[in-house]
């Protein structure tokens, strides 16, 4: 009897833990906090990798709130109608209302942060805003168009946006020269990393996108082939990272940083390996949005060894 009581307590405890984990993870995903946190940490990682002279809280706050704005805007069911008059069309529902509220709150904090930026940084943010709106749906004479419907182009556009927000922007704010070989390599590495992650979200929507008339690289190559392509890109990224650190870092300071990058790529590769068509959407959000957090945390932690 005592053993049964202990077993029942253990089962109840595990049930509570699973329920709590499910609720917390759902909140992190729905609120886009995991994405914004990943983008902010990657921005900090970029500054560490290029040996930036300074790291201000301002650039990180702008990255966080701009990421919140962009992704909540993407969740809002909206379109641009050009004819007969130009207007923004919102299709309201309970979920859309939540994202609209989060977008407004994030936008207010972003506006306050932007007030302290220099003009060049503000103009760069305006450019990113224009690109973000171009990613939405445009309606003209009853015909709908979206860059999201263009296979591979949307992935390139998304990866480019992330690279600009998490590499170019923080370097611009901190007045660090991007056009050095180290800066360019960090940009390329970030672009390839996010490109691979964007492929995984195409796999997530493997069955739903065709029903909505959206062609993706996953639909063209197929589930397994896209996983192979993603693994090859991760291998290419690892090779570029080795070249980056061995060539541009002196002494042994580069070893912990390279170890952090390679370890994060191995973890991401494992996430891709265990992904199949039966995985729920939460699997993709936790693992592949979480992959950005994992890489940044590993780099930031092991960079302390490089400094010492």
- Do the domain assignments include residue 103? yes
| CA contacts within 13 A on the Cβ side of 261 | 26
pLDDT, residue 72, reads 85
Nearest to 70 by CA among 92, 91, 40, 48: 40
| CA contacts within 13 A on the Cβ side of 60 | 15
The partner residues of 23 in beta bridges, in order of sequence, read none
With a CB cutoff of 8 Å and minimum separation 6, the contacts of 99 are: 72, 73, 75, 76
Give 124-146 pLDDT, tens digit per residue: 988 888 777 666 554 444 545 56
- Do the domain assignments include residue 88? yes
The 3 state secondary structure assigned to 179-191 is: CCHHHHHHHHHHH
Cβ-contact 233, 192 below 8 angstroms:
yes
- Do the domain assignments include residue 224? yes
Nearest to 201 by CA among 20, 29, 15, 25: 29
- Do the domain assignments include residue 56? yes
Domain count, the chain: 1
| CA contacts within 13 A on the Cβ side of 3 | 0
- Do the domain assignments include residue 6? no
pLDDT band at 83, cuts 50/70/90? low
What is the average pLDDT across 238-245?
Answer: 92
What is the average pLDDT across 71-86?
Answer: 64
- How many Å apart are CA 24 and CA 38, to the nearest integer? 16
Strands (E) across 95-160 are located at 137-140, 143-146
- How many Å apart are CA 19 and CA 21, to the nearest integer? 5
Domain around 151 = 32-307
The partner residues of 146 in beta bridges, in order of sequence, read 137
Encoding tokens for residue 2?
A: 């005592």
pLDDT, residue 301, reads 92
Predicted TM-score (pTM) of this structure: 0.85
Top pLDDT among 308 and 140 is at 308
pLDDT, residue 141, reads 46
- How many Å apart are CA 204 and CA 272, to the nearest integer? 12
Cβ-contact 176, 43 below 8 angstroms:
no
**How many percent of the chain have pLDDT more than 70?**
81
pLDDT, residue 140, reads 45
């Amino acid at each position: 009897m005592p053993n049964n009581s202990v077993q029942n307590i253990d089962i109840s405890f595990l049930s509570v833990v699973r329920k709590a984990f499910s609720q917390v993870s759902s909140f992190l995903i729905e609120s886009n906090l995991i994405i914004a946190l990943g983008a902010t940490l990657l921005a900090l990682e970029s500054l560490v990798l290029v040996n930036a002279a300074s790291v201000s809280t301002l650039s990180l706050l702008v990255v966080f709130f701009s990421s919140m704005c962009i992704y909540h805007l993407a969740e809002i069911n909206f379109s641009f109608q050009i004819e007969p008059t130009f207007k923004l069309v919102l299709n309201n529902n309970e979920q859309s209302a939540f994202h609209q509220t989060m977008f407004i709150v994030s936008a207010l904090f972003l506006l306050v942060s932007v007030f302290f930026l220099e003009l060049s940084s503000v103009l760069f943010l305006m450019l990113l805003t224009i690109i973000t709106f171009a990613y939405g749906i445009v309606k003209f004479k009853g015909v709908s168009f979206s860059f999201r419907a263009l296979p591979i182009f949307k992935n390139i556009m998304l990866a480019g946006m992330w690279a600009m927000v998490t590499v170019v922007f923080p370097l611009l704010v901190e007045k660090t020269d991007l056009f050095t070989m180290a800066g360019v390599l960090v940009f390329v590495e970030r672009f390839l990393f996010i490109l691979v992650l964007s492929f995984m979200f195409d796999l997530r929507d493997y069955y739903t996108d065709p029903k909505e008339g959206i062609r993706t690289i996953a639909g063209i190559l197929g589930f397994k082939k896209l996983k192979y392509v993603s693994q090859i890109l991760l291998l290419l990224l690892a090779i570029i990272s080795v070249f980056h650190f061995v060539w541009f870092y002196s002494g042994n300071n580069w070893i912990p940083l390279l170890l952090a990058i390679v370890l994060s790529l191995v973890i991401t590769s494992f996430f891709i390996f265990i992904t199949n068509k039966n995985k729920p959407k939460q699997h993709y959000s936790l693992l592949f949005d979480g992959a950005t957090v994992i890489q940044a945390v590993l780099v930031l932690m092991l960079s302390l060894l490089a400094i010492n």
